């Protein structure tokens, strides 16, 4: 049995199938961990959702910003952008089933045996692992059991830009969501820069990739698997942080990593 983690699929189902065939993935034996952004930009978001949903207990997912965007379009006044490729999902006969399943996925997964956690974008440097799991569960509870329509109506925005334990209501949920699903750069106080989407050398003075501060503040934390940041091209230059978004949908690669051995396998979009 193997546990594989895959970076941002973004509706590139055919590529995912080729990659899983390359490693001989079997749903009866193996587990697929998906680091968020199952959908959008690629042409096969519906097929991707159907496949991951069909894996049942053989898959472990976290929500990414594109997955939340899909749910927001379905449950709020948010309109699709001109670049979205989500119409077939929203119009599918089985969308209600897929929607309920997607909305029940968490923002953070933990593999205790390998001492690994998986998120979409990152973990705030000031959060220890147990706190991060508890905060992720606040959003998960809202999405799966709470007033998720109010959550989606208030989800978009860059403020508050820094975590404060005293945050409450939709500001609290939005800030938690931004750390887990949108973060790239922050400063040493954990203040987010959500505008800079470039390579890790392009940040404003005082800002660094989140994992640089996280390593300093949480040196004994579990290893972290994450996606979201295609400009890293899969390289964090730190063996504790496993960047798996290698930008297949943008002409790059789709990457799979075996959690136990850390061995990577990729296919190119060429």
Question: Which two three-digit tokens encode residue 246?
Answer: 């290698």
Q: Provide mean pLDDT across the span 4-18.
A: 98
- Alpha-carbon gap, residue 235 to 233, rounded angstroms: 6
Q: Are strands 116-118 and 3-6 parallel, antiparallel or unpaired?
A: unpaired
pLDDT tens, 15-66? 999 999 999 999 999 999 999 999 999 999 999 999 999 999 999 999 999 9
Q: Residue 204: what pLDDT?
A: 83
Q: Which residue has the higher pLDDT, 195 or 99?
A: 99
pLDDT tens, 120-155? 999 999 999 999 999 999 999 999 999 999 999 999
pLDDT tens, 86-105? 999 999 999 999 999 999 99
Using pLDDT thresholds of 50, 70 and 90, give the confidence band for residue 231: very high
Q: How many CA atoms lie within 13 A of 68 on its CB side?
A: 27
Q: Residue 233: what pLDDT?
A: 94
Answer yes or no: CATH 3.60.21.10 is held by domain 3-268. yes
Q: In this model, does residue 202 exceed pLDDT 70?
A: no
Q: In the chain, what are the domain boundaries?
A: 3-268
Using pLDDT thresholds of 50, 70 and 90, give the confidence band for residue 112: confident
> What does the H/E/C string look like for the chain?
CCEEEECCCCCCHHHHHHHHHHHCCCCCCCEEEECCCCCCCCCCHHHHHHHHHHCHHHEEECCCHHHHHHHHHHHCCCCCCCCCCCHHHHCCCCHHHHHHHHHCCCCCEEECCCCEEECCCCCCCCCCHHHHHHHHHHHHHHHHHCCHHHHHHHCCCCCCCCCCCCCCHHHHHHHHHHHHHCCCEECCCCCEECCCCCCCCCCCCCCEEHHHHHHHHCCCCCEEEECCCHHHCCCCCCCCEEECCCEHHHCCEEEEEECCCCCEEEEECC
Using pLDDT thresholds of 50, 70 and 90, give the confidence band for residue 197: confident
């Amino acid at each position: 049995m193997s546990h594989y983690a895959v970076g941002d699929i973004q509706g590139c189902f055919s590529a995912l199938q080729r990659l899983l065939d390359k490693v001989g993935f079997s749903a009866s034996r193996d587990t697929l961990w998906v680091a968020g952004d199952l959908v959008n930009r690629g042409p096969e978001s519906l097929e991707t959702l159907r496949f991951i949903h069909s894996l049942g207990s053989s898959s472990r997912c976290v929500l990414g910003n594109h997955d939340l965007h899909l749910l927001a379009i379905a449950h709020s006044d948010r309109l699709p952008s001109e670049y979205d490729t989500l119409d077939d999902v929203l119009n599918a006969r089985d969308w209600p089933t897929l929607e309920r399943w997607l909305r029940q996925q968490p923002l953070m997964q933990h593999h205790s045996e390998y001492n690994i956690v998986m998120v979409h974008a990152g973990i705030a440097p000031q959060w220890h692992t147990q706190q991060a799991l508890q905060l992720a569960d606040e959003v998960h509870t809202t999405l799966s059991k709470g007033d998720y329509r109010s959550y989606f109506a208030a989800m978009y925005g860059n403020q508050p830009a820094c975590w404060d334990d005293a945050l409450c209501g939709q500001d609290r949920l939005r800030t938690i969501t931004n750390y887990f699903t949108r973060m790239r750069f922050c400063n040493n106080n954990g203040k987010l820069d959500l505008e800079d989407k470039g390579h890790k050398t392009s940040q404003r003075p005082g800002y660094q990739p989140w994992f640089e501060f996280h390593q300093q503040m949480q040196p004994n934390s579990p290893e972290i698997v994450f996606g979201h940041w295609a400009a890293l091209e899969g390289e964090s230059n730190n063996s504790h942080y496993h960047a798996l978004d290698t930008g297949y949908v943008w002409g790059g690669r789709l990457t799979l990593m075996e959690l136990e051995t850390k061995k990577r396998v990729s296919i190119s979009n060429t």
